[in-house]
Structure 1
Amino acid sequence: MKETNESRYDLHTHSRASDGMNTPEENVKLAKEKGLAGLAVTDHDTVAGIAAAQIEGERIGVHIIPGVEISTQAAGKDIHVLGYYLNVEDSVLLERLAGLRATRDARNEQIIRNLQGLGLSITLQEVIDGLGRSLRPDESLGRPHIADALVHKGYVRDMREAFDRYLAEGKPGYAAQPRISPQQAMEWIREAGGAPVIAHPGLYGDDELVRTIIEAGRPAGIEVYHSDHGHAEEQRYLAIANEYHLISTGGSDYHGVRQGVVFHGDLGSRFVTEETVERLRQAVQQLRG
């Protein structure tokens, strides 16, 4: 979305609670520096970074929207579902997310075995050591962490090469994992009091699948504005959002800076206004009755 004079909100950011580079507090401070009114913390399969972000947001005047990005699968493709304004203390949600992280851990171990089978000398412990800190039980490792290790060991020049050669879907190091459906993730989010949104549909390369997910899962919105969406994609998904009466959301998908490169986009480079945030609040209020 192009910049306006209205308040800006980045609704898709990651912290080191999953595969981001920054602490939640650092992301909040960066949002303040960039003049954002607020941001959503949407780590992969965890809500571990939200409390710290909210404390910092209250301190410096940045509105924090509690969120999550749940990993799912449909038609053989990895599909991500964002959830907003959900109850991050919901015990059922926390148990379900813990189960997803356990599956992610098993996937990471298989990726390491695949890389070792290709003759690369790398261990999961080396990946963890590369964090420079202890990994909390409610945090998760992702492929970007493994990519970092490959860079540091000299097997690839940067993260992009790590994914292009080894870690992307269809590459020799990639490992699929059993995942829940997008519809199930949306139900989990609604049951935790939140509003589900389909993340970055342009990355799936299958608009008919996106339509099928919308019709089956009944999300509140679709992420129209994303760092990996060009203008044509934005217009296409805006039309789909209007067709299905969905909220058009957007965010940078900021993961921080790795090897001098911002991944996926700089914080605040994609955003929505207060009107969109208010529509998400209303969707949640209607859900909660």
Structure 2
Amino acid sequence: MIGDLHCHSRISDGSMGLEELVAYAKRMGLDFLAVTDHDTMAGIKRAAVLCERYGVSLIPGLELSVLDKSRGRKAHILCYLPDKTVLIDAMCSKIINSRAKAGTQMLKNVMRFFPIIAENVLKFSQGSLCIYKQHLMCALMEAGYTGEMYGDLYRELFDEKDGSCYEPVEYPDVYDALRVVLSSGAIPVLAHPGVYQSFELAEELAKKKLIRGIEYYHPKNTNRDT
């Protein structure tokens, strides 16, 4: 069987709507698809209907944003097949609220430096729960200020240490989050450890039997990472 265990839709920062995503998976010959939007399972019921229609097996999940406090770094945890979602939903709601505030402020920050208006960004964030940095970059790309999503301009504006327009989001501690994930019956997998230099954290969590896997195949994983 062939599938993709890490997919985002427009509900978070993906470039495709749910039906586009499922239809694309079918065209690519995938047998299964994990819909793992950032900090939400809002699209899972719709994804289940679409996957049944297109003949693709669905693995419900999400990608949880957490903070590795001991190292001062973010990390992402893929959470698959939760039995109960009440506690996960409550935790995600706090993250989404914080991200929505940060996204609105980042939009204001960007508008101070570039002659774009809110409507330029909101058309890219349509269907999403909040404004993501990627939506801001899409508007800047459309206006001709850059030709790439994650290039020099992205780093200049949104680098977490000294980006001129960056606003922080409050994330739960990784251990608190994993307690909720495991109590919900979900399968936790550390996502793309190379992105946030989470290799020490991966080893730590594995030794404590708090994760069930580590994402091996990811576009941002280098050969050295894998």
Structure 1 length as normaliser, TM-score?
0.69
Which residue is equivalent to 2:76? 80
Map 1:1-289 → 2, pairs under 5 A: 7-74=1-68, 75-87=71-83, 90-117=85-112, 119-122=113-116, 124=118, 126-131=120-125, 133=126, 135=127, 139-161=129-151, 162-170=153-161, 171-215=163-207, 218-234=210-226
- Offset at 1:206? 4.9
Residues 1:223 and 1:123: Cα distance change in structure 2 (over 3 Å): same
Contact 1:39 1:65 in 2 (8 A): yes
Contact 1:42 1:69 in 2 (8 A): yes
- Offset at 1:180? 0.7
Q: CA RMSD in A?
A: 2.2
Count of residues in Structure 1 that have an aligned counterpart in Structure 2:
222
What residue identity is the alignment partner of 2:147? Answer: R
Greater RCO, 1 or 2 (C-alpha within 8 Å, sep 6+): 1
- Offset at 1:49? 1.6
What residue identity is the alignment partner of 1:66? Answer: P
Q: Distance in 1 between matches of 2:87 and 2:197?
A: 33
> Helix, strand or coil for the counterpart of 1:96?
helix
Structure 2 length as normaliser, TM-score?
0.87
What residue identity is the alignment partner of 1:112? Answer: L
Unmatched segments (≥5 aa) in structure 1:
1-6, 235-289
Output one character per residue of 1:22-70: Cα deviation in whole Å (capped at 9) or x when no partner. Answer: 1112211111111111010000011112112211211222110001011
